[in-house]
Amino acid sequence: MMSPDEYCQNKTAKSGSSFYYSFMFLPQEQRTAITAVYAFCREVDDVVDECTDINIARTKLAWWREEIDKLFSGEPRHPVTQALVKVIQRFSIPQEYFLEVIDGMEMDLDYDSYPSFKELSLYCHRVASIVGLISVEIFGYQNRKTMKYAHDLGMAFQLTNILRDVHEDAERGRLYIPLDELEKFHITLDDIVHRRMSENMKALFAFQADRAMKYYRNAFAQLPDEDRYSQRSGVIMAAIYEALLEEIKMDGYAVLTHRVKLTPIRKLWIAWKTSRKETRLYKKLARVNAT
């Protein structure tokens, strides 16, 4: 029988997510903690993705809310929440962070599209930026500005996912590109579902990519030097995701015809290369500070 930590490790590894590669270079305690957090996110995301009956999905999310209450009262039942016990104790993660992630997942049951970026940004904040804030607590920080970095980096990751998955989501009846932006570029949901690529469609997708890139730039503009090394998992993740965004751009934004992705070996190479770069930078800063 798997231990709670093994269950979370298995859940994370099976997902094939880029997050897995960014965790590899963390110390064991942090890697185990962030793996448990990511496994929680996968569990609640799977509820929404796999339940065709909205009422059943709401019931399951309500169960997870109750389970978070049990986690914080010391009575978890699920392997993921059992693994999270030592995480919330060691890193002082607020209960409302986990509940807000569930609120974000529930938005998928309330919205099949978003009128404007204002509504979409709340969704991105809940399902991605909150995870960034949890990560910051686990990785450790000295400067409060690092929280702003984590928020914007989470936004950038989610916006990249939205562009990558646009056709797959549309086939499931969901659209995460704001409706007022479709209108601005003279695109309909029907155009996306039926893969009608055009110059307008390409311009719409380029607009989404540019917004994501602005969030990456804003995030790193707010990351203080003293916290950069402790946050290197996020830096590694950003390098992988920015490479994905560049691949989408080089592919002519052909996200309607196929899912653009990086091979596991390329993700591993980017992760290793970025980790080495960040280690060198950290040692250089340490030498400068010592003089």
Residues 6 or more apart in contact with residue 166 via CB below 8 angstroms = 175, 176, 177, 192, 205, 255, 256
| Residue pLDDT, tens place only, 138-153 | 999 999 999 999 999 9
| Residue pLDDT, tens place only, 62-97 | 999 999 999 999 999 999 999 999 999 999 999 999
| Residue pLDDT, tens place only, 158-200 | 999 999 999 999 888 899 999 999 999 999 989 998 999 999 9
pLDDT of residue 121: 97
Buried b (16+ CB within 10 A) or exposed e, 254-283: ebbeeebebeeeebeebbeebbeebeeeee
Residues 6 or more apart in contact with residue 72 via CB below 8 angstroms = 88, 95
pLDDT of residue 141: 95
239 falls in which pLDDT band (50, 70, 90)?
very high
- Tell me the C-alpha distance between 100 and 219, whole Å: 21
pLDDT of residue 16: 63
Average pLDDT score over the chain: 94
Question: Do 4 and 80 contact (CB within 8 A), yes or no?
Answer: yes
- Tell me the C-alpha distance between 284 and 289, whole Å: 9
Checking if the pLDDT of 15 tops 70, the result is no
Token pair recorded at residue 51: 């339940």
Beta strand ranges found along 135-269 (DSSP E): none
Question: Do 182 and 207 contact (CB within 8 A), yes or no?
Answer: no
- Tell me the C-alpha distance between 138 and 250, whole Å: 35
Query: What value, to the nearest 5°, has the Cα angle with vertex 178 and ends 173 and 180?
Result: 120
Mind listing the domains of the chain with CATH numbers? 1-9+17-110 (1.10.600.10), 143-272 (1.10.600.10)
Token pair recorded at residue 265: 């070996």
